[in-house]
Amino acid sequence: MTATLSKTRLEFIEAGGRLWQLLGLPRSTGQIYGLLHLSPKPLSLDEIAALLSISKASASTGTRQLISWQAIRQVWVQGDRRDYFESVADLREVLRTAYHTFFKPKMEKTEDRLELLLATLEAEHKSGDITKDEYDFCAKRLGGIASLQDKLTKVLPLAEKFL
């Protein structure tokens, strides 16, 4: 069986693939999401692979990625032992979990790293490895980054409320 897709859905998949790609995520993963998001009914792994002309292996890894980001979910169709997938309809939900699983952890890591960096700088200052001028300059720049970082962590979660 060679199911075909409407032009709209084909173009949407194409667009989804490119959009995700420029966010640094694999194109095929974006295509899977695009396919599912415009699909009225859940699709199986084999259907996904066939419709997108990708290997089943890619379909498998792609769906697992999307599930880990909670962009799609697995659904069970009674009387069928295959796995079926459907997209999470509410995109705001997807954005929210993306923030919590992607950005937030990264922000926190950056915060820690900055702390360490400031400590290193202090140490270098005390032991006389760097001049007072270099110390002052670096401290100022690092402070600027910390300040922005701080504000971002406060503003971003707030922005969510407006969506």
Q: Does 45 bind DNA (CB under 7 A)?
A: yes
Q: Does 25 bind DNA (CB under 7 A)?
A: yes
Nearer to a copy of itself, 76 or 137 (CB): 137
Number of residues that bind DNA (CB under 7 A): 22
Nearer to DNA, 44 or 153 (CB): 44
Q: What single string gives the DSSP state of each residue in the chain?
A: ------HHHHHHHHHHHHHHHTTTS-HHHHHHHHHHHT-SS-EEHHHHHHHHT--HHHHHHHHHHHHHTTSEEEEPPTT--S-EEEE-S-HHHHHHHHIIIIIHHHHHHHHHHHHHHHHHHHHHHHTTSS-HHHHHHHHHHHHHHHHHHHHHHHHHHHHGGG-
From DNA, a copy of itself, none, interface partner of 99 (C-beta below 5 to 8 A by class): none
Nearer to DNA, 67 or 130 (CB): 67
From DNA, a copy of itself, none, interface partner of 89 (C-beta below 5 to 8 A by class): a copy of itself
Q: What is the CB neighbour count within 10 angstroms for residue 161?
A: 6
Q: Does 162 bind a copy of itself (CB under 8 A)?
A: yes
Nearer to DNA, 26 or 157 (CB): 26
Q: Does 87 bind DNA (CB under 7 A)?
A: no
Q: How far is the CB of 49 from a copy of itself (least distance, A)?
A: 21
